[in-house]
A and B are shown apart, each in its own frame.
Chain A
Amino acid sequence: MEIMMTLSSDQLARLRRLFLGLTGLTCLAFALGALTLGRPDPFSPLVPLGMGVIAALAIGGAAFIAGDAVASQTEDEGYDRDRSRAERWGYWVALLMYPIFGVALSFDWIEFPVAFAAMGTLTGATYLLVFVLLDARGAPLAEE
């Protein structure tokens, strides 16, 4: 028996939001954990890494199942706009973190490995979560 599995662009976008959101939240939890516990590994760094890999595989696999036409529908100019806005946020937050963490490091409030871990994961979390928020905000709730 042949099993037909298809995904609409809406479903693919929802799946992308889910996995990117989970990865973003994992990165944010890692950064906040590092800062609050004062250690560069509040939990295994393999967790955010693994979430990223799982997200990439899930989104890539779903896009493959959905086919080229549906995949390109979900990567249209609206997606490009949200992505570039999220990148802008990620860029400015990453830049802003240098003076903030620079001050914290100069006063020995945090150690360098902690700052390194927090800055890296916060940059990733900002991009991912802003993208998910922008994508979810424009998504229609019901069919019109």
Chain B
Amino acid sequence: MTLVNHLSELRRARQMTQAQLAEAAGVSRKTINTIERRVFVPSTVLALRLSNILGVSVHEIFELEEEEEDKEEDGDDRVHGTDAGAA
């Protein structure tokens, strides 16, 4: 599972600069930049603060994306699960 975020798109859609968002959230521009570049995962408090500022839910900013390997493993598990159930 990888954490993806749409902070950059949501911020741009609201025509906000990183500096404006940073000031509104009470953090540095660097922190906003590193979140957008997926270098830094913010705390729950900051995630909630960002969602309030952007007027969206946290889930619209951040989401967990399944990787191909995870999907394959899940698929295998499901097959095994079905087999086990059938047995």
Chain A residues at the B interface, C-beta cutoff of 8 Å: 8-10, 13, 69, 72-74, 76-79, 81, 135, 138-140, 143-144
Contact = CB atoms under 8 A, between A and B. Distances in A.
B2 interface: no
B17 interface: yes
B33 A73 contact: no
A76 B33 contact: no
Given A9-B22, A78-B30, 10 more contacts: A10-B19, A10-B28, A77-B42, A78-B27, A79-B31, A81-B40, A138-B39, A139-B29, A143-B19, A144-B17
Which are the 10 A-B pairs with shortest beta-carbon distances?
A78-B31, A76-B27, A140-B33, A138-B34, A139-B30, A9-B28, A138-B30, A144-B18, A73-B28, A76-B31
B26 interface: yes
Contacts of B15: none
A76 B26 contact: yes
Interface of B: 8, 17-19, 22-23, 26-31, 33-34, 36, 39-40, 42-43, 46
A124 B74 CA distance: 48
From DSSP, what is the main secondary structure of chain B's interface residues?
helix
Contacts of B17: 143-144
A78 B36 CA distance: 13
A73 to B, nearest CB: 5
From DSSP, what is the main secondary structure of chain A's interface residues?
helix
Nearest to B12: A144
Contacts of A76: 26-28, 31
A79 B29 CA distance: 11
A1 to B, nearest CB: 28
Given A10-B19, A77-B46, A138-B40, A144 B27 contact: no
Contacts of A139: 29-30, 33
A140 B30 contact: yes
A78 B18 contact: no
A74 B22 CA distance: 10
